Chain A
Amino acid sequence: MRYKSQSVAYWYFAVAMVLFGLQLVFGLLSATKYLGPDPLLYILPFDVTKVIHTNLLIVWVLTGFMGATYWMIPDESRTELYSVKLAYIQLILWTLMGVTAVIGYLFRYGTGNKLLEQPLPHKLVIVICMLIFLYNIGMTIKRSGRFTTTEGVLVLGLVSSAVLFFPALLHYENYTVSIFYRWWTIHLWVEGVWMMIMGGFLAYLLIRLSGADREVMEKWLYVIVGLVFLAGILGTAHHYYWVGVPYYWLPIGGFFSALEPLAIVGMAMYAYGAMRRSGLAHPNVLALHWTLGSAIFTLFGAGLLGLAHTWPSINKWTHGTLITAMHGHAAFYGAYAMIVLAMISYALPSLTHGRTERGSSIGYWAFWLQLGGMFGMTLSFATAGIGQVYLERIMGMGYLDAQLKIQIHFVMLIVCGTLFSTGVGLFIYDFFRYRPRFEVSEPEVTDNEVAVGRVV
């Protein structure tokens, strides 16, 4: 840690860890309900556990993004944060918003609009938090006068996330139109601007961990951003299948979402190439695992498994089945959960006392258990989904009867989910095992060091 204000990241990460743990509790509960019968039918029915599961995901990943940004910006701009106080106010507001939203869901206080269930007051608090955040980051960069490309991509991603949230605040009379604009927020977040954020973090980590040449890395970052948007913006069309929009969205969705993996392949090649060229010299090998792991798992979950059901003539049969859950779990985990865990693993040795730079064996157990568990969960959803598509959609068996025939895959889901949760539990334990440290541990960068190439 070179700048004292970077330590705010610790508290953001800590909140993210707690919410991540909580997310899994509700995930496991939801999974067991697939097996049924459900003793909690009138206490915590599926719709409640599911809405909390997905909302906690969004909140903790965004908390992680914010923490990681507060960690990264001082490093990149070589200055203290503009206001530490604002950063804490933002965290408190944000956490209160998240916690009260979850409590509200327990009592069915929500909009019932998929993934945008937050009631209007909560949505407004989200906007306020976003504005505080962007103001703080913007002022930090402005004051320092140093603005790197990596940072630029990250900040542009964050600003666009805030802008794209606005359609979610409006009310639509026509259900089809409300679906149309819901995806402006959700899809363009997940497959557009969040990808940019991920790309920014990835570039930062690769430059630091592998010592790869900044000039080269930033050039390719541009290419990746171009590909993300070229395919991602028009790729929104794959959410417009079968919802009551004009027919031309079908071929557009097919073509551009088939292009979407290009950016992801680019990202994986980029990470691998950086490692090949510059070696694996950095002592924080655990952070390296998470960084490369994220690039590769994204390729699998978002790229390959997305492509598997994105073509209209296939999606016609798989739409709205567990095939979607298969893709959703692997993609979100690989692209967003893992990149946040990578940033945490990178920052943690200097944010806590007594932690070795290479990472502990508990840290590696956490990595491999999570990876294995999530891979197994993905396969469980995949096998269940394939069974469902054939029995229900192609053979014409009733939904409830088809679900009975694929019970064994739900057993597998719960077993793998338990493995995964064990991995996450270890990660959280490892996180809180050491006392946080709030003093500067590395000297500030001087111009001379930059000149002789000692810092990147």
Chain B
Amino acid sequence: MNNRQARIFAWGSTLVAALVFLGLTLDSHRQFPELTNAENITPQVTHGKDVWHKYNCINCHTLFGEGAYYAPDLTKITQHRGEAYLQAYMRDPSQFYDEQRHRRLMPQQNLSEEEITDLIKFLDWVANVDNQGWPPRPILVTGGVNSATGAEQAAMVLTGSTSVGVRPVSPDSDIRALGENVFRTAVPGCVACHSLAPGADGAGPSLAGVATRAELLVGASDYEGQAGDVEGYLRESIVAPSAHLSTGGMYSANGVSFMPDTYGESLSDDEIEQLVAFLATLK
């Protein structure tokens, strides 16, 4: 190659690459509105985005996996945590996490109520952007595999399953096995907040011994819900989390549970029965 050919190569490849890149940029603009649900970018969402920038969130957290790596990714956070939870969390993170235990803590940001609401609206818009199916598996803030019991972990290793705690089930499996499968795979994931290990509370209380507690509760005088037995109580807790609040300030505010109240719609009746059957085994 002589000097002139080298020069032609340099200019030629730059020009070709730049032209292709610009062409694809134009096409991307054509597709942005649909991929990002641009019609949902309301003034509130825009304000929420400004809040995100104003408080420098991206220099600890990631969004779409971009940012700093010091705090959890928030791309799909609104699918893991209900709005009530996120509001209470933003008011004072130290109510939810212990710096001595996790060795880091989000400083209180002193956001106004309006800023909090709009920020959550923005994060919810982010969660619904079509981002090529990422993350391939939910990224949890706390809990997950370490809250499974030893036997469950062993089972995972034996079956070679790469999916956390999800054992292969078929429709004629035991109803409780089907229920555990629902527990692991429902969206938003139950495991994102609840562990099955005694005392290992996440964003929701540990469900170890929930059946025993339910039995004591439905007979008690301070029970506010409608259920008459353990199964009924569990069903009620899944479909209407705020019917009875028994666990104190970390899990609810203003008489509303932080647990999403969408399971009545997102799960089929069969799935709810399976889940109830599974939870009823947790004596």
Contact = CB atoms under 8 A, between A and B. Distances in A.
Interface in B44-76: 46, 49, 52-60, 62-73
B223 interface: no
Contacts of A110: 56
Contact of B70 (A33, A250, A252): A33
B159 to A, nearest CB: 14
Given A30-B70, A177-B36, A244-B129, 9 more contacts: A46-B71, A47-B59, A48-B59, A51-B59, A112-B58, A114-B66, A229-B13, A392-B139, A396-B137
Interface in B4-22: 6-7, 9-14, 16-18, 20-21
12 contacts: A46-B104, A218-B3, A220-B6, A223-B6, A248-B24, A249-B28, A316-B135, A319-B135, A396-B144, A396-B163, A398-B146, A399-B71
Contacts of A230: 13-14, 16-17
Given A50-B68, A222-B10, A317-B136, A399 B141 contact: yes
B62 A399 contact: no
Q: Give the interface residue-count category, chain A.
A: 35 or more
A403 B99 CA distance: 13
Nearest to B72: A399
A47 B53 CA distance: 12
Contacts of B70: 30, 33-34, 46-47, 50
Contact of B164 (A176, A231, A395): A395
A394 interface: yes
Contacts of B29: 177
Considering residues B16, B66, B102, which has the most beta carbons from chain A within 10 angstroms of its beta carbon?
B66
Contacts of B162: 394
A69 B87 CA distance: 52
Contacts of B46: 173
Interface of A: 30, 33-38, 41-42, 45-48, 50-51, 108, 110-114, 117, 173-177, 179-180, 215, 218-220, 222-223, 225-227, 229-234, 236, 241-250, 252, 316-317, 319-322, 324-325, 391-401, 403-404, 407
Contacts of A397: 140, 144-146
A396 B68 contact: no
Contacts, number: 240
Interface string B113-150: 00000000010011001111011111111111110000
Contacts of B18: 229, 233
A36 to B, nearest CB: 4
B97 interface: yes
Interface of B: 1-3, 6-7, 9-14, 16-18, 20-21, 24-25, 27-29, 31-32, 35-36, 38, 41, 46, 49, 52-60, 62-73, 97, 99-100, 102-105, 107, 122, 125-126, 129-132, 134-146, 162-165, 202
Nearest to A230: B13
B17 to A, nearest CB: 4
A5 B126 CA distance: 53
Contact of B56 (A112, A247, A322, A404): A112
B29 to A, nearest CB: 8
Nearest to B130: A244
Contacts of B99: 36-38, 41
Contact of A404 (B59, B62, B102, B141): B102
Given A34-B70, A50-B60, A316 B134 contact: yes
Contacts of B129: 176, 244
A45 B107 contact: yes
A223 B10 contact: yes
A179 B14 CA distance: 23
B67 A398 contact: no
A249 to B, nearest CB: 7
Nearest to B20: A234
Contacts of B139: 392-393, 399
A176 B35 contact: yes
Contacts of A243: 64-66, 131
B41 A174 contact: yes
Contacts of B97: 400
Question: What are the 6 A-B residue pairs with the smallest beta carbon separation, nearest first?
Answer: A320-B65, A112-B53, A396-B164, A36-B103, A242-B134, A47-B59
Contacts of A401: 142-144, 146
A174 B13 contact: no
